[in-house]
């Protein structure tokens, strides 16, 4: 079955989620972050994901902005930075301005030039995603931005993956789903998507019943994976 639609996770896949901590650490006002920003960024991201899963399984849904703030608060406390209100505000402000990875614009343009539909499918709330897409300047090469807020539960709930077929009228096997989260790419494969895990840092595969169809170092090869 030929690929007709390419769908991307947003945070960590198209947008560099470590950028907020890295950029803040470069500012003189936040010198305390300079030595610890990589760990803060890792803790922030991990807790953000953990809280989304816990809220999904307990039925306590909230917007992604809330779990983003909660994850940051945990990370700052864990790294001895809980009392710095100015740092917290700066990190949250920078999260609305995340840049796309360098290969993203050309990759998405190649997909569009090849006649494929393109979209984001993300845990992010619509306003957060709009801010990231606008900041990265990639709105003209995306057909849609799909948020879990329309179904009220975070990935990897199957109703989230249902949004793709509902929007584009395609079968799961026509979709190339791309995520930097191994669990997300695996769950997408279990759903029936053709999946690519963008494993930029060489993480081990998650131990789940399903496996991604492809493992890539970055997004440069996605047009070829889509058959272009």
- H or E element that contains 18: none
| Cα–Cα dist 94/23, whole Å | 8
Q: Would you say 139 and 59 are in contact if contact means Cβ atoms under 8 Å apart?
A: no
- H or E element that contains 215: strand 214-216
Burial (CB count <10 Å: 0-12, 13-18, 19+), residue 89: exposed
| Cα–Cα dist 11/2, whole Å | 27
Active-site residue, selected from the candidate residues 9, 16, 43, 184:
9
- H or E element that contains 144: strand 144-147
Q: What are phi and psi of 100, to 5 degrees?
A: -75, 155
Q: Would you say 164 and 5 are in contact if contact means Cβ atoms under 8 Å apart?
A: yes
Does 127 participate in catalysis according to the annotation? no
What is the rounded radius of gyration, in angstroms, for the C-alpha atoms of the chain?
17
Residues known to be catalytic: 9
């Amino acid at each position: 079955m030929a690929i007709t639609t390419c769908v991307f996770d947003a945070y960590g896949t198209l947008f560099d989620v470590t950028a907020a901590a890295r950029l803040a650490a470069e500012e003189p006002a936040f010198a305390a972050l300079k030595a610890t920003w990589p760990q803060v960024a890792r803790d922030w991201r991990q807790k953000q994901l953990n809280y989304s899963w816990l809220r999904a399984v307990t039925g306590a849904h909230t917007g992604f902005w809330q779990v983003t703030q909660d994850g940051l608060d945990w990370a700052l406390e864990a790294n001895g930075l809980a009392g710095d209100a100015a740092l917290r505000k700066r990190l949250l402000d920078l999260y609305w301005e995340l840049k796309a990875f360098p290969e993203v614009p050309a990759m998405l343009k190649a997909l569009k030039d090849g006649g494929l539909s393109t979209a984001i499918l993300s845990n992010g709330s619509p306003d957060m995603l709009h801010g990231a897409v606008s900041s990265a300047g990639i709105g003209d090469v995306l057909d849609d931005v799909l948020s879990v807020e329309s179904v009220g539960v975070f990935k990897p709930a199957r109703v989230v993956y249902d949004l793709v077929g509902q929007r584009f009228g395609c079968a799961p096997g026509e979709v190339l789903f791309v995520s930097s989260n191994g669990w997300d790419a695996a769950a997408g494969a279990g759903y029936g998507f053709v999946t690519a895990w963008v494993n930029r840092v060489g993480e081990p595969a998650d131990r789940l019943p399903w496996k991604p169809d492809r493992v890539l170092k970055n997004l440069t090869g996605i047009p070829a994976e889509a058959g272009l």
